[in-house]
C-alpha cells in the first residue's frame, strides 16, 4: 500500500516582484514560495535586496510590480497617478499584516516596556485579545525562545541575543 503525502499549503508566494529606488533596480523579478512549516533562508550580500524583499511582502515598501500572496490571498495593488503601485485596500493590508510577523535587524523593542509588555502589546491592542489570554500566550512564547526568566526586564538589560529572542516572541504572538 502506498501512502500519498500532500504538501502543506503555500504560506507566501511571490511572483516576478520588482522594486526600484530611483534609478537603482533592487528587486529584478524575484520569485519565491514558502509552505507552512518550512524554514526558508534568504542569503545575499549587503545591499542585495533581502530586507527590501521582506519589506515588500509586509507592504512596508510597495513593490513596483509583481504579485504577493499570503495564505492564498493576493495582495491587491493599483497604479497611482505617478506610475507607482499602491495598495488597493488598506483594510486588506492591515488584515494580512496581522497574520505576518517580522523581526527587524534592529529589534525595535520599546525601551520603556518590559519584555512581556513588548510581546503582549499588539495582541491586546491590534488583535483585541483579552489581556490575560495574551499574557498566557506571551509567557509560553518566551519560554519557547528561552527567555521566560527575563519577562520583567527592560530591553536595555538584555543581551543582543536576548533582545532578538524577545522580538521573535513578539512576532510569533501575532
* DSSP secondary structure letter of residue 27: E
**In the prediction, which pLDDT does 18 show?**
93
Rounded CA-CA distance 134/70 in Å is: 24
Contact 31, 15 (CB under 8 A): yes
**In the prediction, which pLDDT does 121 show?**
93
Task: Using pLDDT thresholds of 50, 70 and 90, give the confidence band for residue 7.
Answer: confident
Task: Using pLDDT thresholds of 50, 70 and 90, give the confidence band for residue 2.
Answer: low
Average pLDDT, the chain: 88
Length of the chain: 174
The CA-CA-CA angle for residues 120, 153, 102, to 5°, reads: 45
Query: 70, 66, 50, 63: which is closest to 10 by C-alpha?
Result: 70
Question: C-alpha cell of 45?
Answer: 550580500
Answer whether residue 68 shows pLDDT above 80: yes
Contact 168, 145 (CB under 8 A): yes
Rounded CA-CA distance 174/167 in Å is: 11
Contact 37, 8 (CB under 8 A): yes
- pTM summary value: 0.68
What does the pLDDT look like over 20-35, one tens digit per residue? 988 999 999 999 999 9
Q: What are the two backbone dihedrals, phi and then psi, of residue 58, each rounded to the nearest 5 degrees?
A: -85, 0
**In the prediction, which pLDDT does 77 show?**
87
Query: 105, 122, 106, 118: which is closest to 151 by C-alpha?
Result: 118
Amino acid at each position: 500500500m502506498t501512502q500519498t503525502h500532500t504538501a502543506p499549503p503555500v504560506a507566501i508566494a511571490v511572483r516576478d516582484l520588482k522594486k526600484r529606488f530611483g534609478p537603482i533596480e533592487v528587486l529584478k523579478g524575484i520569485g519565491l514560495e514558502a509552505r507552512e512549516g518550512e524554514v526558508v533562508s534568504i542569503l545575499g550580500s549587503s545591499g542585495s535586496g533581502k530586507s527590501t524583499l521582506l519589506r515588500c511582502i509586509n507592504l512596508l515598501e510597495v513593490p513596483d510590480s509583481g504579485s504577493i500572496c499570503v495564505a492564498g490571498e493576493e495582495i491587491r495593488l493599483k497604479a497611482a497617478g505617478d506610475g507607482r503601485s499602491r495598495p488597493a485596500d488598506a483594510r486588506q493590508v492591515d488584515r494580512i499584516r496581522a497574520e505576518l510577523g517580522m523581526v527587524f535587524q534592529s529589534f525595535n523593542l520599546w525601551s520603556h516596556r518590559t519584555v512581556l509588555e513588548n510581546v503582549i502589546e499588539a495582541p491586546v491592542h491590534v488583535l483585541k485579545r483579552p489581556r490575560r489570554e495574551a499574557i498566557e500566550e506571551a509567557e509560553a512564547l518566551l519560554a519557547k525562545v528561552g527567555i521566560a526568566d527575563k519577562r520583567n526586564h527592560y530591553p536595555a538589560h538584555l543581551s543582543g541575543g536576548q533582545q532578538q529572542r524577545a522580538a521573535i516572541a513578539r512576532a510569533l504572538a501575532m
